[in-house]
């Protein structure tokens, strides 16, 4: 809230006093103190928004690192033979099954990460800008 107490309010009181030739009443609570308190709260809220954005960015970076490592791991698993011989049918079956289990696990992790990134994006939008 950008309100010039001295110019706007005190100026208005002076005009009323001049117009009526007397004392204009003042509110029960000092508006200057209330306006100053509101301004301090606005500044604190803006600082909190800035901090929230920084923390959300940190969280987003951490999730991005998970996605990068999950992709690396998935590529590694695609080539890994688990010390089995893929020329033997039983070993080949175990390799395929092990890769499928890990692929599903990595896919589930990636889905959770992408959902988390969507939440972060939505939260960042709600903190965009400042209180004026």
pTM above 0.85, yes or no: no
Query: What is the pLDDT of the chain when averaged over all its residues?
Result: 90
Q: Where are the domains of the chain?
A: 5-126
pLDDT band at residue 130 under the 50/70/90 scheme: confident
Buried b (16+ CB within 10 A) or exposed e, 78-93: eeeeeeeeeeeeeeee
- What are 32-79's pLDDT values in tens digits? 899 999 999 999 988 888 898 899 999 999 999 999 999 999 999 999
Of 23-27, 33-37, 66-70, 106-110, least confident by mean pLDDT is 23-27
Question: Other CB atoms closer than 10 Å to residue 63's CB: what's the count?
Answer: 18
């Amino acid at each position: 809230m950008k309100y010039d107490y001295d110019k706007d309010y005190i100026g208005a009181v002076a005009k009323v006093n001049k117009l009526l030739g007397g004392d204009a009443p003042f509110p029960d609570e000092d508006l200057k103190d209330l306006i100053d308190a509101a301004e301090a709260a606005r500044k604190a809220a803006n600082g909190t928004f800035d901090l929230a954005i920084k923390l959300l960015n940190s969280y987003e970076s951490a999730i991005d690192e998970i996605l990068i490592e999950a992709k690396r791991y998935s590529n590694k698993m695609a080539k890994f033979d688990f010390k089995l011989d893929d020329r033997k049918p039983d070993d080949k079956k175990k390799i395929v099954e092990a890769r499928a289990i890990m692929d599903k696990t990595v896919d589930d992790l990636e889905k959770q990460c992408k959902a988390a990134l969507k939440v972060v994006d939505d939260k960042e939008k709600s903190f965009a800008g400042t209180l004026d």
